[in-house]
Amino acid sequence: MEFLDKIVNTYTRVIRKWNKWDIFPREKLYTNIAYFSIFIVYMEISFHIIMFRNLPLTTIYPILFSLSLGTLLGTACETFSRDVNRRFMIAVTIMICVLFCAEVIYKNVFQTYFALFGVLTVASQAMDYLNIVFSTIIRSLFPLIFLFIIPIGFVIKFSEKFINDRQMVSLTNLCRAMGIHLFMLICLFIGGREIYSPFDLYFNSQAVDNSVDALGVMVTTFLSGKNTLTGQTGATRIAEESPVNNTRTTATSLSARNTTPDIFRTAVDTSPNILDIDFDKILSDSGYDKNVASLCEYIQSKPGTNRNQYTGMFKGYNLIWITAEGLDKYAVTPEWTPTLYKLATEGFVFTNYFSPLWYGSTSGGEWANLTGTVPNNGSYVAMEKSGDLGLNMLFTAGRQAARLGYTVTGWHNNDYTYYNRDKSFPNMGYDWYGTGHGYIPEVREDSGKALWPQSDVRLIDQSFSAYAGSEPFMTYYMSVSGHVEYNFSGNAICRKNKDRVTGLPCSEKAKAYIACQMELDLAIQKLLQKLEAAGLSDRTLIVLAPDHVPYNDMDLIDELSGSPKDEINAYRNTLIIYSPSMRQPITVNKYCSSVDILPTVSNLMGWYYDSRMLIGQDILSDTEQFIMFPGLSFITERCIYNAKTKTVSSFDGCVVDDEYLTAMKKRAYNWYTLSDLIFSTDFYQYVEPQMPEVTARTEQTAAVVPHGRTGSGRHSCR
């Protein structure tokens, strides 16, 4: 508090001195245009220095846009009376300052920037993060002084001196604004058109972090608004990928191949996991849409992933799919979370699994888990709009299971409308339940208000009987016990499990975080017990993956892991694919990520799907390893590339040539574009009519599973 008092007192003294000195006498002023232009340039440069610690050559683009926008705003500020114009100047200044400060706070909370119109659909949920926002503001006082206090104090004190008496719109000024903007566009053309260049970010794709860095906050906001008005996602260009020879044997392969029982070594169908699709008909049905044509051309150029000895391993099994809120691998230990540890080490053991922090945090991570594609980065957030738009979600687990006659339900122990899930999940094939529709929350005895967060154990207790007697079933859970903030004062789950973590040798925040994940562990323990009691264990597959790491407390990862993690390894995590019918673990050393879950599960379940039409890949196939992160970082057979630091780490110590890096950057770039185009064109609606017919015999095969064996009859996990 003393520090804040000093800031306020200093600020007051400065304002008083400005009053005495009369720094800006009216006769020395130019126009309102000068004020707005200088103000926005100041904001962009200050923001860049504070957040990026540099001023690259690309800073010319936000400066030019600032001059153009400043000219427009200055002209608008000469339209009305002096009093109205002054209020307009102050109001616009405050709004721009709030936008820049919001970017700082959002970055410090979610580890990414935002595009304004892309997050408006979830703006009402900001109230849930008020405590986090306030604590972040305290931690961000230094940048907020430069981006809010100084400009707001300046405009309130001196705006009177910037106001002209004219009440007209100058066509000359409008032409100047257009001329400056045109000059900026010319510079974009001259500056090159490679992927994620300023030209590409402006015209072809909007990756928010890259756009804020190269084009500035105001251009990113402008592009977000333009895409919202036109209904575009911003991604339109598919880069031409160069063929790359990958002949070397990788050490990060599927190690289970060397320990597979002899029963797996019989003849196995290794044909591509693709469908017989008439792409000419798709083009015709789409009216020869150019974006659909680009997708068809690209998809046909891909071989798809091959079937393997694990194809159909769990055919006909019940499926329980869980997205674990905020789970991190370092919380999965035999002491803290023994049930999670058991599942992570006795089923498929993924030693190199990553959960990148996709745009939209929980909704983005959940989208990647469930759709096998990357969520939109800078336009509308995919989860929120998919239901509103009625997009075809053909290959999601809910839709695939429903085609086979499964009972499909989804459950969440929070508001069932949150992130528009009441629309998006029915659209993905689920009968959707949550608080307000099927789930009864635990409430405080004194106030009757719902506890926050809710218990995942309570969620299992309330939901299990609703589907357990309706085989085959596919059930999805979105947990909430692991939600931020991690403390013992405001988090009900932390308080509930406080006694279990009191003696742990770590910080209070780390103890609170572990306490949250202990509740998830108890919920999974309860789920396994119920499956066993109902005689369902040996014919049920469990899939569990986090939506993201604890992004608001990245220092937790360092503390729990025992060492600092870089921008790549901070996102190492746990993927669980487990059935009690498995008698031995299968270790998978292949690098993989959240978008790979859906194709992997689809292959294990023996579902009809086209591996070319998902961005992720079947982890258990012999496909070349490739995973990507926001901003064009990636991991391949050969190396790890960190786009933020622009460093390459080779696995074998050999130099990775620029040609290979360029090819891999294009592949990562295309993953974003393809994900956007698949849903912006509603591509799956053209594919669904060509799906193989599901016959009564197929449904019977899916529904009747020999107890304790895989549904295909070819494999056994025992």
**pLDDT in the model for residue 698:** 52
- The C-alpha angle 106, 485, 374, rounded to 5 degrees, equals 50
**Residue count (the chain):** 718
CATH number for the segment(s) 255-703: 3.40.720.10
pLDDT grade for 124, boundaries at 50, 70 and 90: low
Q: What's the whole-number mean pLDDT along residues 163-189? A: 83
CA contacts within 13 A on the Cβ side of 182: 6
Please state at what angle helix 171-190 crosses helix 60-76, rounded to 10 degrees: 170
631: closest CA among 61, 111, 188? 111
Comparison of pLDDT for 238 and 588, the residue scoring more: 588
**In the predicted model, is pLDDT for residue 11 greater than 60?**
no
- The C-alpha angle 708, 710, 713, rounded to 5 degrees, equals 115
Q: What's the whole-number mean pLDDT along residues 153-182? A: 81
HEC string of 428-439 equals CCCEEEEECEEE
**What is the C-alpha to C-alpha distance for residues 38 and 650, in angstroms, rounded to an integer?**
46
Enumerate residues 6+ apart whose C-beta is below 8 A from 656: 638, 639, 648, 650
All CATH 3.40.720.10 domain ranges of the chain, comma separated, are 255-703
Helix H segments across 309-396?
A: 338-346, 361-371, 382-389
Cα pseudo-dihedral 273, 309, 544, 434, rounded to 10: 50
Q: What is the DSSP string of 166-183?
A: --S--HHHHHHHHHHHHH
**pLDDT in the model for residue 13:** 56
Pairing of strands 438-439, 431-435: parallel
Q: What is the DSSP string of 545-593?
A: EES---GGGHHHHHHHHTS---TTGGGEE--EEE-TT--S-EEE-S-EE
303: closest CA among 260, 339, 271, 269? 271
Q: What's the whole-number mean pLDDT along residues 614-642? A: 94
CA contacts within 13 A on the Cβ side of 306: 10
**pLDDT in the model for residue 10:** 54
**pLDDT in the model for residue 19:** 45
**pLDDT in the model for residue 334:** 98
**In the predicted model, is pLDDT for residue 631 greater than 50?**
yes
531: closest CA among 615, 461, 468, 441? 468
**pLDDT in the model for residue 248:** 34
**pLDDT in the model for residue 158:** 86
Enumerate residues 6+ apart whose C-beta is below 8 A from 532: 580
What is the pTM for the complete model shown? 0.89
**pLDDT in the model for residue 137:** 85
- Integer-rounded Cα radius of gyration of the chain: 28
Structure token pair of residue 696: 């009564």
pLDDT in tens, 472-490: 999 999 999 999 999 999 9
Q: What's the whole-number mean pLDDT along residues 658-676? A: 92
Residue 290 zone, left/alpha/beta (φ > 0; ψ -120 to 50; rest):
alpha
pLDDT grade for 717, boundaries at 50, 70 and 90: very low
The answer to whether the CB of 625 falls within 8 A of the CB of 294 is: no
What is the percent of the chain with per-residue pLDDT over 70, rounded to a whole number?
Answer: 86
Q: What is the DSSP string of 279-314?
A: HHHHHHHTTS-HHHHHHHHHHHT---PBP-TTTTTT
Residue 213: in which H helix or E strand, if any? helix 208-215
**In the predicted model, is pLDDT for residue 119 greater than 90?**
no
**In the predicted model, is pLDDT for residue 260 greater than 60?**
no
**How many CB atoms lie under 10 A from the CB of residue 660?**
19
CA contacts within 13 A on the Cβ side of 658: 0
**How many CB atoms lie under 10 A from the CB of residue 624?**
15
**In the predicted model, is pLDDT for residue 247 greater than 60?**
no
Phi, psi of 635 (to 5 degrees): -130, 130
**pLDDT in the model for residue 711:** 35
Mean pLDDT (the chain, rounded): 87
**What is the C-alpha to C-alpha distance for residues 365 and 246, in angstroms, rounded to an integer?**
30
**What is the C-alpha to C-alpha distance for residues 451 and 449, in angstroms, rounded to an integer?**
6
**In the predicted model, is pLDDT for residue 2 greater than 90?**
no
Q: What is the DSSP string of 620-672?
A: TSSPPPEEEETTTEEEESSEEEETTTTEEEESSSPPPPHHHHHHHHHHHHHHH
Structure token pair of residue 672: 């974003």
Chain position carrying tokens 């496909």: 623
Structure token pair of residue 68: 């153009």
Q: What's the whole-number mean pLDDT along residues 415-426? A: 94
**What is the C-alpha to C-alpha distance for residues 391 and 428, in angstroms, rounded to an integer?**
9
Highest mean pLDDT among 19-23, 282-286, 647-651, 670-674: 282-286
Q: What's the whole-number mean pLDDT along residues 116-124? A: 69
pLDDT grade for 161, boundaries at 50, 70 and 90: confident
Q: What's the whole-number mean pLDDT along residues 676-704? A: 78
Q: What's the whole-number mean pLDDT along residues 307-319? A: 97
